[in-house]
Every structure is written in structure tokens, then in C-alpha cells.
Amino acid sequence: MTKRARVTTTATTNYKIMKLTEHFDLAEFTASPNAKKLGIENKPTPEHVENIRALCVNILEPLRQIWGGAIKITSGYRCAELNAKTRGASSTSQHCKGEAADIKPANGDTLGLFRVLKSSGLRFDQLINEYPDENGVPSWVHVSFTTKRKNRGQVLIIGAKK
């Protein structure tokens, strides 16, 4: 069963300090050195905040419990302007809806995290091993979750070395 998260418009007033779950806050999802460099305010709408919270509640927080350690958000929410200026980003990216995050475990074992998430039984939309090295170790792990339709459970590899 999908857990729904509701966020009101006033909840986004202090979006930089908003706690989403026990171990994740909104600032992690909106932080972007690229946005800062380009002078872009990467501020989510209330609907996007609701989607980010659903991703945390249904995927990231349970994954952290299964994994048994900290997980870092390397790329979370991207407003349309930031996404357009992000090299390699898809124009239909779930990052723009607050439905996706690129993650790495604090201990650096991205392949282990990918494998744990893949076998976890968590109902993700997409799980992507992004830009793996010659041993299949991802540069980062992309995971998405949506409340708008059934999550597909797709497992993909993008940018594999040939």
C-alpha cells in the first residue's frame, strides 16, 4: 500500500528546513551547486514537496532501515529551469516532479546499495544503475516513486562502458 503524504502551501514557506522523515529533509533535495552557480532558485511547489515526501516515506526511509546506514542525496528535486541547464538530464525527468533522487550510501558501496534496493521488495518506479564502471559499480543509483500511477518496478542500466 502506498503511503500518501500531504503538504500544505504554508509548509513550503520554510522549505530549506523542512523535515520529511526521520533521516531526510527538504534541503537535501533542493541543494544544487549548479543552481547556486547559475543563480537559480530551486524551490519546489507544494505538489512537488508532497511527491518528495512520498519518495522518502515509501522508498528512501525504508531503504535506509534495510541498508542499516546513511544514504546521501546527490541529486534530488530540479526545477524546470535547472533541469534544462543540467547536462544529460531528460526533459521528462521525474526529478522535476519531485519523484526521483540520485543516491549514494555513506560507505560508498553503490553496487551493494543497488542490489539491496533491487531485492528489497520496495515498490519503486525506476531503479537505475547509472554510469557503472567496468565492474558494474554505479557512479550513483537513481530511484523514483510515483503516486500518480502504478509504480513500474523497472530496473535499468544507463551509460555502461562497452
Strands 71-75 and 100-105: antiparallel
Residue ranges of the chain whose pLDDT lies below 70? 1-16, 162
Residue 70 in 3-state DSSP?
Answer: coil
Kindly report, residue by residue over 106-122, the tens digit of the pLDDT.
999 999 999 999 999 99
**150 vs 59, 126, 127, 146, CA distance in Å?**
14, 11, 15, 8
User: Which pLDDT does position 5 carry in this prediction?
Assistant: 47
Domain 9-158 has CATH 3.30.1380.10: yes
The DSSP bridge partners found for residue 72 are 104
CA distance 117 to 144: 12
Task: Judge whether 117 and 127 are in contact, CB under 8 Å.
Answer: yes
pTM above 0.85, yes or no: yes
User: Which pLDDT does position 161 carry in this prediction?
Assistant: 72
